Amino acid sequence: MNYVELNNGLKMPQLGFGVFQVPDLAECEQAVLDALASGYRLIDTAAAYQNEEAVGAAIKKSGLKRADLFITSKLWVSDASYDRAKKGIETSLRKLGLDYLDLYLLHQPYGDVIGAWKALEEAYHAGKIRAIGVSNFYADQLKNLILTCDVKPVINQIEVNPWYQQEQELKLNQAESVQVEAWAPFAEGKHGIFQNEILSQIGKKYGKSNGQVILRWLIQRGIVVIPKSVHKNRMEENFDVFDFELSADDMQIIAKLDRNESQFFDHRDPATIEQIFGSSLAQLKTN
């Protein structure tokens, strides 16, 4: 395993396991158990995924030492205020059955970000969270938070994959000493990414799959990555990416695959923001 050192000195595994879109609690619990058995120690969940209880149950069943694990969760926009964030943190800890979280993120850059961040800072100082960060923040939103907060975010978790390489955002985050973490590294299989001939030709040189090439490409860019799968054989394949290194030519070839387009949605689109907020939008406007 490779590790990155966050700007507060905390070390974090560079490859982890995500549980987005695994709402079935029994399936999620088994997936996390399989991931831990395969060697993963970084587990990424969120309040919005509605599976924190399953992650906590798997951690307990695994028998692994808490100190050997790196557990991340996230605050949803419905709790994006000082008072609600304080409750949201406690809810995540309770559902996970943990005394502390290694990393806790603001899931979206909406709502009372500054108020919510203050609650995260207090939990950080109290030892309930070892590191705090953000998710889906553009560089200007991140800069605004940095200029107004006391504790600097350690991570910005954003969409990064071969179709959406985010080179400029990566550079801007790195300039602020904020670690980039990639969600959707496989672009959810869109545009035939697992069958892409260019990635396949690179993989053949190393005896690796398209997925393994993608993960290695992200790792060599200094990015933390959290692939998801409910299949143990795929988890093991995704974990097997530390015994080869892509050449500079390989990295340049993959760079040319960039479509510079999100495979999901524009986080700055007002319609998207309203959709993400849902019923919490009206509540925010009245506060």
List the alpha helices (DSSP H) in the chain: 25-38, 52-62, 82-96, 113-125, 139-148, 167-175, 197-206, 210-220, 232-239, 248-255, 270-277, 280-286
Q: Extract the tokens encoding 198.
A: 């260019």
Dist. CA 18–CA 13, nearest whole Å? 13
Which amino acid is present at 237?
E
Q: What is the CA radius of gyration of the chain?
A: 18
Q: Which of 3, 40, 49, 110 is catalytic?
A: 49
First-to-final CA distance of the chain: 45
- How is 53-113 classified by DSSP, letter by letter? HHHHHHHHHH---GGG-EEEEEE-GGG-SHHHHHHHHHHHHHHHT-S-BSEEEESSS-SSH
Asked whether the beta carbons of 128 and 89 are under 8 A apart, the reply is: yes
**Does residue 164 carry a catalytic annotation?**
no
- List active site positions: 49
